[in-house]
Amino acid sequence: MIIRPKTSFVAVIPIRPELRNHITWGGWGNGYVAVMPGHPLYEVDYNDLNMEVHGGLTYSGYAESLSGFNNKIPSKSWVFGFDTLHSGDDMTQWPDEASVLAEAKRLQKQIDNYKLI
């Protein structure tokens, strides 16, 4: 599922089945928000941001370096991501795509409203 707002794109990717077979904890998947060239956060490292998202940001990089988007996000976009594989995460907290997508949308609002100082 993808939402196309004014300045960013949202996508969620489920935990790979081969990984899910080896772990007994963790949620449904990961959430991502992508921005295009010209956005003030394009090519900004996630470690340099303080976004309120589950477990904090755990990824930033070009969309083309990630698999699983299936052309849902432009390859030249810059992606920020979070995961649901932190200690204590489980399927009761993050049971499905909708739960991860809701958190990704919360991150998207912060990114769309971000102002550089």
45 in a domain, yes or no?
A: yes
Q: % helix / strand / coil in the chain, to the nearest 5?
A: 20, 20, 55
Total domain count for the chain?
A: 1
Do 82 and 106 contact (CB within 8 A), yes or no? no
Instruction: Please check whether residue 85 is in contact with residue 12, taking contact to mean a CB–CB distance below 8 angstroms.
Output: no
Does this model's pTM top 0.75? My answer is yes
- Print the domain residue range for 54: 8-112
Task: Convert the pLDDT of each residue in 35-91 to its tens digit.
Answer: 999 889 999 999 999 999 999 999 999 988 777 666 677 778 999 999 888 878 777
- Asked if the structure places residue 99 within a domain, the reply is yes
Any domain includes 3: no
Question: What pLDDT was estimated at residue 20?
Answer: 57
For residue 2, is it within any domain? Answer: no
Tens-place pLDDT, residues 4-36: 345 687 777 776 555 656 566 677 788 889 999
Summarize pLDDT for 99-112 with one digit per residue, the tens: 889 999 999 999 98
